[in-house]
Structure 1
Amino acid sequence: MAAAMVCQPTEEQHQWVGSIAGRFYKPRNRAMSHANLMNNYFNPNSKLDRAGRPGFSPHQKVIVALRMMAYGSLADSMDETHGMSESTCLDTLQQFCDIIVQVHKDEYLCEPNQEDLNRLLYKAEDRGFPGMIGSLDCMHWDRKNCPTRWQ
């Protein structure tokens, strides 16, 4: 009868217990962390409005703001599908945009430097719009398929 083979580490084999060599696994309770996050920030009953009723959840507010921006939905049309008044939709959209600007303005909403301007000028020239930076005024451009009433 053959002896059971046990694989023992040799000097060439590295031993670790984490997913990266040299790091150790730290047990974390991911389920409890998720439950705490959802309860603290996304629980529809966690915040009450001025009338003492549960307010809209962050999920609802983000969806409304994204729908209004992505599809150009009117604020008053959100009442039918999401039960949110026009004024609440507009406030939510304003808050959403303010937060996006606040978080990303330093990286994405800065004045273009000379390198950026050169890149944009080259791209516009390559597409047939020489000297154009941030302008969509193309009235001087002949369009062969433009309806005659617009010419």
Structure 2
Amino acid sequence: MGASTSCDCLNNYCKCIIHMFAREYLRKPTEEDVRRLHAKHLEMHGFPGMLGSLDCMHWAWKNCPVAWQGHYHRGDHEGPTIMLEAGASYDMWIWHAFFGPAGSNNDINVLNESDLFEDLLDGRAPEVRYIINGHEFTKGYYLVDGIYPEWATLVKSFKRPIEPKKYKV
């Protein structure tokens, strides 16, 4: 198949996916979605203000062009990978997805490029009211792992041991 035919086919496929799924899946959460997510996470997990989980992952890029492989390769992965930052809710609705550009090889680099917090920074983020330890908050938060920066809207998970540590001497 010729290059122009391949591009036309991919373009038509993408247009079809957008036409079929944009209204329900290819969009930012609405204010109603945010209220539903907040209420469900509170009900299921007891976490007031939680909007979902956020994480980055490496996807193997089997057909990465040879000239680009150095930009998309890390020593801890066998071949070239592309980073995906994804935000998901309790019902596995992936309401945020961002693929990191060349050279963005960790959660922080991808987070800095992503548009996830644009509305928050511009003062347009939906309001989520909740109280923790007597302090009222008006913006939701996301659960993340330890590599993410210390931002008010990112809450890092921590381990709580079930039993005391056993030390070997």
Q: How high is the TM-score relative to the length of structure 2? A: 0.25
Larger Rg: 1
**Structure with higher RCO (Cα < 8 A, 6+ apart):** 2
Q: Which has the higher helix share?
A: 1
